[in-house]
Amino acid sequence: MCTKMSVKISTCILLVALFLGLHPITTSSRCLDSQKSSLWSLKNDLIFDSEPSFKLMTWNLSMDCCDWWGVTCDEAGHLTELSLNDDGIRGGITSSHLKSFKSLKLLNLNYNSLSSFPESLLTLPSLQELYLLHNNLSGPISKHIRVASYNLSIIDLSDNKLQGPLPEFIFKLPSISALRLSRNNFTGIVHLDAFGKFKNLYELDLSYNNLTVIPNTKESSSFSSLTKLDTLRLASCKMLKIPNLKNHASLRTLDLSDNRFKGAIPNWIWNVGNGSLGFLSLSQNKFSSLEKPYTFPSSYRVLDLSSNKLKGDIPVPPSECYIINFSNNKFGSSIPADFGNALTITVSFTISNSKVTGVIPSSINKASDLRFLDLSRNSLAGPIPLDGSLGSLELLDLSNNKLSGKIPEQLTSIMGLEFLNVSYNRLSGKIPQGGARFPTFTSLSFVGNKGLCGPPLSKTCGTGNKKM
């Protein structure tokens, strides 16, 4: 069958390759005996729950250890990667058998319940990536750790309960390129310039600790020299001043939320990243205005200015932004008439509780990709101008405004509308009854409108057309 036609030759080769691939390789062992016995001893030293453990439980001495789940070897049979993430491991790692993993480059222990920082891992000479995200690590990390992993470049300790000052060993590692320390309980004062020594740094996350971060203020500072920086997350870092980020021309993600900034948002910040910034959060600060003149670059995909004290003109968002959050401000002004033109690909727009006045501009109907629209808790007046063009809407919250007129019938044609709230307005007339969704809304979607009638409200509509 394999000789019949030349066009079939490639199929034959494929079949032969598949056959070879499935059979002989598993019989000759690639794994070095030293690596196998050390891995097996490591397994015996680890405390893990057999129930959530998918990987360690399947390790089997009669198999090539390079084929064990979570294990990767190089050609010569040395262990290069060990991924025991999400495998129910508890306690510490004190095994003396780590010593033989001289080629181990990547160790992934994310989503376990390790309780103390496994210091011995820092003696692995080839280690480049260490992942300990979401464990149960607590207490301060010793100042006197022996470090031999000088090529360590990615460290993720996020989402643990580590305390004390930022670990000193980190600053002995010149190759750090990504450092994620968020959501711990690190304390103390840290200067951003301390990270300036990591010439390859592309990601830094210090968010949600108990740190006081002192920003660099000069363009000549060492932090400013980190031109490869792609992601900077400094949420909840008690900063009083915005770091000087004018030199960081590659920044794509910038989170400066929940700090202590106030006054005008300086207009240079919009150009941080030199046209590459996609995510910007300045939420939960005390900014009161936007320094003029300003323009948003078209690169933004997420823009969060929520929970500030912004007053005055509502900024017209950049035109290709998916998520826009302007909630919890004090604008005291109306939504510009052409605002909807900027929302043509926006998925979520929120400007709740922000002292917005005037009417909802009918340009909102151009926002045909919107799934979440929240204009609640403002002073919006006039009619609901929605004409059914917002066919993707899942959530529409217009509650607590001064909207009047009827609820547009066209809203009943929005098939995916899961949540509607027009409560506490001045709407009147009969609640539309058609479509798939409207019959599922309860009176809680409509209460607080004196003029509304018909199900699901108990008030019936005018005596003439009442059906008994």
Where on the chain is the footprint of ligand NAG (CB under 6 A)?
60, 62-63, 90, 113, 115, 125-126, 136, 138, 151, 161, 163, 185, 187, 210, 249, 274-275, 283-284, 306-307, 325, 327-328, 348, 350, 372, 399-400, 421, 423-424, 444-445
Calculate the alpha carbon distances from 212 to 239, 243, 259, 260 in Å.
7, 13, 10, 11
Tell the smallest beta-carbon distance from residue 5 to ligand NAG (Å). Answer: 39
Residue 164 backbone phi and psi in degrees, to 5: 80, -175
User: Min. distance of Cβ 464 from ligand NAG in angstroms?
Assistant: 30
Three-state secondary structure call for residue 18:
helix
The CB-of-381 to ligand NAG minimum distance in angstroms stands at: 18
Q: What is the dihedral of CA 461, 465, 466, 467, to 10 degrees?
A: -140
| Rounded CA separation 149/109 (Å) | 17
Which one, 165 or 388, has the nearer CB to ligand NAG?
Answer: 165
Q: What are phi and psi of 138, to 5 degrees?
A: -135, 175
Q: Which residues face 48 on adjacent strands?
A: 89
Closest CA to 103 of 57, 39, 47: 39
Smallest separation, CB 3 to ligand NAG (Å): 36
Residue with smaller CB distance to ligand NAG, 32 or 347 = 347
Nearer to ligand NAG, 6 or 27 (CB): 27
Separation between Cα atoms, residue 147 and residue 168, nearest integer Å = 11
| Cα 446 to Cα 399: distance, rounded to the nearest angstrom | 9
**Nearest residue (CB) to ligand NAG, 54 versus 337:** 54
Question: 17 vs 139, which CB is nearer to ligand NAG?
Answer: 139
Nearer to ligand NAG, 8 or 286 (CB): 286
- Minimum separation from the CB atom of position 27 to ligand NAG (A): 11
Q: How far is the CB of 400 from ligand NAG (least distance, A)?
A: 6
Report DSSP letters for 311-362, one per residue: -SSPPPPPTT-SEEE--S----SBPPTTGGGGGTT-SEEE--SS--BSB--G
